[in-house]
């Protein structure tokens, strides 16, 4: 049996710090995307944004980006 890495899945951190994404949105790894950086690049082409937070990145789907929690 041969094992191959199938990549990563990046999930939405929005719409706010205290709430999960209502759509449970995720960027699926494409055939050429193996690392989190590559998957995030795929997501940006679909309207996702990436924000820096202390010690990590926040990935926000298009729906949560346009309808943030106050």
- In tens, the pLDDT along 6-15 reads 677 888 998 8
Q: Give pLDDT tens digits for 3-59.
A: 666 677 888 998 877 888 888 888 876 777 888 888 888 889 889 998 888 888 889
- φ, ψ at 60 (rounded to 5°): -125, 125
Evaluate if pTM is beyond 0.75.
Answer: no
Q: Which residues of 25-53 are buried (b: 16+ CB within 10 A; e: fewer)?
A: bebebeeebeebebbbebbeeeebeeeee
Per-residue CA distances from 37 to 17, 52, 54, 67 (Å): 22, 13, 18, 25
Q: Which pLDDT belongs to residue 10? A: 86
- Is there a cis peptide before residue 15, judged by omega within 30 degrees of 0? yes
Chain mean position to CA 70: 21
Would you state the pLDDT for residue 25?
Answer: 86
pLDDT confidence tier of residue 70, bands split at 50, 70 and 90:
low
């Amino acid at each position: 049996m041969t094992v191959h890495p199938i990549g990563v899945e990046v999930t939405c951190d929005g719409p706010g710090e205290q709430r999960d994404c209502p759509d449970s949105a995720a960027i699926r790894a494409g055939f050429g995307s193996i690392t989190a950086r590559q998957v995030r690049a795929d997501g940006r082409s679909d309207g996702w944004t990436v924000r820096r937070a202390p010690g990590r990145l926040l990935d926000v789907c298009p729906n949560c980006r346009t309808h943030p929690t106050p």
